[in-house]
Amino acid sequence: MPELKKGEVNLGTSIMAVKFDGGVVVGADSRTSTGIYVANRVSDKLTPLHDQIYCCRSGSAADTQAITDIVRMQLQQHSTELGRSPSVKTAAALVQRICYEYKDQLMAGIICAGFDEVKNDGSVYNIPLGGACIEQPYSIGGSGSTYIYGFCDANYEPNMNAEACKDFVKRALSHAMARDGSSGGVIRLVTITKNGAVREFFSGAELPYQSYNTY
């Protein structure tokens, strides 16, 4: 198999998902890089797998797009057979299977999160490089995550409501974008509950900790 050429498109990235009572908030920056070149400054790294299940993508853009396309198709078939929405755990297991079976060929770190009709609550699963699958109350990933472990440990609180989770995700991602040269652009958030998914967009000028803001 020929090797990918040097400077392949990848997502130097900051991604995050946080569970609250009745749903989840997922968020990501928007910078896609090719080596040191920013190939896309407003890419969308929050990909729907089903109506109430989203994933945050980090790693190779091509690999993660292929994985999510396959899993979306599988979940649609599974949902039709069940007659209801699939569980978040099922979506995470399908992503994990591909990531683990092809771990030597893929570069993909994915967070699966959404509203689980079976549990009637939100769920967050982290599938890092190598294909493990870990359920967590919140998860961070991508190159920018290395800068915000301390921030998240200090500021995460169990049982936060949806608004507190959105503020937590927005501040954490903004911190990562300010420190990580491979993260940047804008922040996209999706809040997922039993009523569906609501998207939000925050431009760089609206974010704290950025060089052109003083707060």
pLDDT, tens digit (0-9, with 9 covering 90-100), for 59-102: 999 999 999 999 999 999 999 999 999 999 999 999 999 999 99
CB-based contact 65:96 (threshold 8 Å): no
Nearest C-alpha neighbor of 209 from the set 187, 189, 193: 187
pLDDT in the model for residue 206? 83
Outline where DSSP puts E strands in 72-186: 108-116, 121-127, 134-135, 138-141
Nearest C-alpha neighbor of 124 from the set 116, 140, 135: 135
Residue 44: pLDDT above 80?
A: yes
Pull the structure tokens for residue 211.
Answer: 């060089």
Sheet containing 23-28: order of strands: 138-141, 15-20, 23-28, 187-193, 196-202
Residue 2: pLDDT above 70?
A: no
Direct distance between the N- and C-terminal alpha carbons of the chain, in angstroms, rounded to an integer: 50
Place 167 in a pLDDT band, splitting at 50, 70 and 90: very high
Place 214 in a pLDDT band, splitting at 50, 70 and 90: very low
CB-based contact 171:152 (threshold 8 Å): no
pLDDT in the model for residue 74? 97
Question: Which tens digits make up the pLDDT trace of 104-126?
Answer: 999 999 999 999 988 999 999 99
Buried b (16+ CB within 10 A) or exposed e, 75-112: beebeeeeeebbbbbbbbebbbbbbeeeeeebbbbbbb
Mean pLDDT value across the chain:
91
Question: What is the value of pTM for the model shown?
Answer: 0.90
Residue type at position 26: V
| Residue scoring higher pLDDT (61 or 11) | 61
pLDDT in the model for residue 204? 82
Residue 7: pLDDT above 60?
A: no
Average pLDDT over residues 126-130: 95
pLDDT in the model for residue 32? 87
Nearest C-alpha neighbor of 166 from the set 147, 189, 146: 189
pLDDT in the model for residue 192? 98
Distances (CA, A) of 70 to 30, 177, 214: 23, 30, 44
| DSSP category for residue 148 | S
With vertex at residue 146, the alpha carbon angle to CA 172 and CA 34, rounded to the nearest 5 degrees, is 95
Active site residue 32: no
Place 181 in a pLDDT band, splitting at 50, 70 and 90: confident
Nearest C-alpha neighbor of 135 from the set 154, 113, 153, 159: 113
| Residue scoring higher pLDDT (214 or 107) | 107
